[in-house]
Structure 1
């Protein structure tokens, strides 16, 4: 017993000596290690400064000017004129409502599809590996490729979907050329293309649920619906909070699908906030007004993320 105690003390002294060698008497790391750490951090810090911090600073600066891209030296400070202009911009209001409609519909649809697929592939059935890969494959494809593919399939005259409808005795549908159907078509396509990623996260959460909980529920006579509501859903709450926040933010940043599939058209029924910012900033070259919209939109997303997080925390506390 004494020999073991002496051995443990000697090992502890050796570890302490190694720790002291790493740090000097003032508690600071050695200069070589600090240099190596900054060497690894520098590329990421430079990229963050160039593509995150600098654009935010420039957007904040340009938002209070009449900066026109073709006349960069003639910009003048105009105060809050760009922000007051936003209040009377009808196309901007339509773009925000379109984006809001997309978020409110695609987030629950996409997460419901993801959870359903995760529960299917979580079962021990033959060929599960194939189905996991098949369900996840749209998530690794380029959104541009997916958008072009669906544009061809939804063509109102020669598209595959309309050919199937005709074979079933149904009428052809305008889909992307109709103001009432264009956004709904983009919502369904976006939910289909993105649910594979959320499915894998839900699947990881399902794997971490203790099987004994379901066994105890079976003994108590609980049916499938009760086990889903009182075991699965509460166990997946932290994962659901993460996915709701990330999916909502990504949904508000919708731009690729409407830009490729409709160009924001069908009477501006698919114009989104980011596409409107792009149109004004790079096509109309009005950087000042586009920067003002970007600034307000960024503040809105930050506040929305904080609100969703607080909402989930209050539910967990209850």
Structure 2
């Protein structure tokens, strides 16, 4: 017969439980520290390259700071914003940016989806075409812009092709020095360069849709269009939201192509908001005015992204 009393038995039962709880807390603390250590590089980069510049831009926008000046900056209130909203160049750059985004976003997304549907087909050679479509994406935008600048020259490859196809009846134009063709030329090049990236994203979304749904639709005799509208398109809800937002942000932040190919010309027909901010801050050395442009642009992009996210949200 055991001689252990009831209080002693209770103590023996409580001690292991307390030991287990202490061990669980220690393990959780250890996991938390490991998680914090793994996330710290990303958090530090986010703080240094996003939070600090945003706060600095917010502070500079209310001063008269210049990039190089012997005079210290002082507070000027909303003068930079008043000047900005009365600047005709700002409104022209805003129209150019909106024009680029309105054309590029649907065309690039739609073309990428068509290419993804073709690349997703079970035919020979699809891997080769996927590589060809994606090749421009891994090439530097500066290199591509320089290449297309030569193509668009009056004696460039494009005009040579036009002359050959039209048997010398049409000689083309100086695409980048014509206000009516400069922005469309940059649009065409930008879509060509980035369509492969979004094709891969569409393709990844297509491959998450169950093949059983397509087999059931085939058994029911559904047409290709009905299969697309009732199976493929609803199955790409999350993918199309991601693509829509990423293409829009990239289109609104257009800069590299403009800087390399046209420098905002001709007649400011290709000046965008980002290019205006960079030129104001570095060429004109008006850091405070560039900060005001950047803040207004940040608010506009945030608003557009929020509206897109609201319109593409999943309905309960």
Asked if these proteins are the same fold (TM beyond 0.5), I'd say yes
Q: How far apart, in 2, do the equivalents of 1:226 and 1:233 lie?
A: 10
CA deviation map 1:178-206 (0-9, x unaligned):
11111001111111100111111111111
Q: How far apart, in 1, do the equivalents of 2:201 and 2:20 lie?
A: 40
Q: How far apart, in 2, do the equivalents of 1:155 and 1:149 lie?
A: 10
Question: Max radius of gyration: which structure?
Answer: 2
2:223 is aligned with 1:226: no
Q: Which runs of 4+ in 1 moved over 6 A?
A: 16-19
Find 2:61's aligned residue among 53, 60, 63: 63
Q: Could you say which residue in structure 2 is the equivalent of 1:202?
A: 202
Q: How far apart, in 2, do the equivalents of 1:226 and 1:36 lie?
A: 50
May I ask how many residue pairs the two structures share in their alignment? 297
CA deviation map 1:77-123 (0-9, x unaligned):
11111111112101111101000000000011111111011001101
Name the SS for the 2:244 alignment partner.
helix
> Structure 1 regions of 5+ residues with no counterpart?
1-15
Change beyond 3 A, Cα 1:21–1:265: same
What root-mean-square deviation, in Å, do the aligned CA atoms of Structure 1 and Structure 2 show?
2.1
Tell me the TM-score normalised to structure 2 length: 0.88
Find 1:162's aligned residue among 159, 163, 187: 159
Aligned counterparts, 1:31-180, within 5 A: 36-71=34-69, 73-156=71-154, 158-169=155-166, 170-180=170-180
2:190 is aligned with 1:190: yes
Aligned counterparts, 1:156-305, within 5 A: 156=154, 158-169=155-166, 170-305=170-305
Tell me the TM-score normalised to structure 1 length: 0.88
> Structure 2 regions of 5+ residues with no counterpart?
1-17
Q: How far apart, in 1, do the equivalents of 2:19 and 2:186 lie?
A: 63
Q: How far apart, in 2, do the equivalents of 1:217 and 1:207 lie?
A: 17
CA deviation map 1:28-78 (0-9, x unaligned):
614xx6555444444333322221111111100000111111126421211
